Amino acid sequence: MKTIDELLAEGVAGKRVFVRADLNVPLAGDTITDDGRIRAVQPTIAKLAEAGARVIVASHLGRPKGAPDPAFSLAPAAKRLGELLGADVAFATDTVGSSAKETVAALADGQVAVIENLRFNAGETAKDDAERGAFADQLAELADVYVGDGFGAVHRKHASVFDLPARLPHAAGYLIATEVGVLKKLTAEVKRPYVVVLGGAKVSDKLAVIDQLLGKADRILIGGGMAYTFLYAKGCEVGISLLQKDQVDVVKEYMERAEKSGVELVLPVDVLVSADFPDLKTKAPADFETVDADKIPADKEGLDIGPKTRELYASKIADAETVFWNGPVGVFEHPDYAGGTRAIAQALVDSNAFTVVGGGDSAAAVRTLGFDENAFGHISTGGGASLEYLEGKTLPGLAALEV
């Protein structure tokens, strides 16, 4: 995989460099609530601009239906990028239309532009190779060189991620190089004990990675909504907690495999339960109680791991050399159910291990709960991409950069 430093050594002054970034940031109206992904790609963009490149930044945001939708405009991200760069950033109001062409043509050496949300064009995410390729052809006309640095999208076979690199000289940006280096430390170069913390809502989202980790991790700690399928598979009553009954047999098989292979699979011993899901908008105080994990009332659902489980999980992390965490272990968006996720984050901070927060909601939780990002070894920008890498899958965006 060609690096951006190799590209810079060849010279980029005066060249139009297309940077596929991941500016898929959460928005509340026009306000960015977490700019982590913009900050993560800023070093690549800044370095190219300093070298005299004419930088064209492109990204998706959300899931528009292949047509323009103001709710998913990249305009707020372009504004924030300009603030981080300390320079004006031009904004094109379309992807490959007249605005994009005019905006790119007006760039001088060292200037930066952002084009509108790539997913406003149906060709970006098309399943049909020809349709996707036609959009990639149009994007290629805007640039001379391609730099892939949108790690959060490399597991997608999309036009700007997979097809465009084949049409232009290409290299990997600093963020992708960092992310891949970190993931190698979780796969090929692991220091032990290796502890994995998995949370999130659905166990089905994590089965493939659990399958791979059963042969690699020393301990797997389970939390979040997915924990209740594991508890149910053990014969526990889980009330109205999130449960995927169609996955119970698979979960039982994994529990048996873990025992046979010597992998410690740790489940909650107590949970916070309530008859009502909390109001995440007003964050009004919730009515909850703490019960043993095998004594969840029939009319209540588990919404966070309890204090005993927090202590247990912290003890399982304390002596680790490597920790990977993906998925909150409770409804962290509400203060009454954020304690478990906060305890996991604190355990990582207190550990001497190489700690990796696996993107997505885990990264959002770390920032929402006020932790110093520098206290962790690495906070990934791509939850889905990280998981698929750990599953052993070929990621289209990485494969395209390796050609």
Query: What ranges do the domains of the chain cover?
Result: 4-178, 186-390
Say what the pLDDT of residue 382 is. 87
Ligand-binding site membership of 339 (annotated): no
pLDDT of residue 361: 86
Kindly state the average pLDDT of the residues 316-344. Answer: 97
pLDDT confidence band for 189 (50 / 70 / 90):
confident
User: Which pLDDT does position 179 carry in this prediction?
Assistant: 95
CATH assignment, 4-178: 3.40.50.1260
Query: Is 333 annotated as contributing to ligand binding?
Result: yes
Q: Over the stretch 226-240, which tens digit does the pLDDT of each residue have?
A: 999 999 999 999 999
Name the percent of the chain lying above pLDDT 70.
Answer: 100
Residue 75 predicted with pLDDT over 80: yes
Q: Which pLDDT tens digit goes with each residue over 79-94?
A: 999 999 999 999 999 9
CA pair distance 118, 140, nearest whole angstrom: 13
* Over residues 364-383, mean pLDDT: 92
Is residue 23 a known part of a binding site? yes
Query: What pLDDT does residue 161 have?
Result: 98
Q: What is the mean pLDDT of residues 366-381?
A: 93
Mean pLDDT estimate for the chain:
96
Q: What is the pTM of this model?
A: 0.90
In angstroms, rounded to a whole number, what is the distance separating the alpha carbons of residues 328 and 320? 19
360 annotated to a ligand binding site: yes
Known binding residue 74? Answer is: no
> Is pLDDT at 359 greater than 80 in this prediction?
no
Strand order, beta sheet including 194-198: 264-266, 219-222, 194-198, 322-326, 354-357, 378-379
Residue pair 175/41 in contact by the 8 Å Cβ criterion:
yes
48 appears as a binding residue in the annotation: no
Res. 215: pLDDT tops 90: no
Q: Which residues, other chains included, contact 301 with Cβ-Cβ below 8 Å and sequence gap of 6+?
A: 239, 240, 241, 242, 273, 274, 275, 277
Condensed to tens digits (0 to 9), the pLDDT of residues 139-182 reads 999 999 999 999 999 999 999 999 999 999 999 999 999 999 99
Residue 96 binned pLDDT confidence (cut-offs 50, 70, 90): very high
pLDDT at 383: 84
CATH H-level superfamily of 186-390: Phosphoglycerate kinase, N-terminal domain (3.40.50.1260)
362 is in an annotated binding site: yes
The string of pLDDT tens digits covering residues 289-309 is: 999 999 999 999 999 999 999
Q: What percent of the chain has pLDDT over 90?
A: 93
How high is the pLDDT of residue 188?
Answer: 86
pLDDT digits (tens, 9 = 90+) for 264-284: 999 999 999 999 999 999 999
Helices (H), 51-128: 75-85, 98-105
Catalytic residue numbers read 37, 202, 360, 384
- The confidence score (pLDDT) of residue 275 equals 97
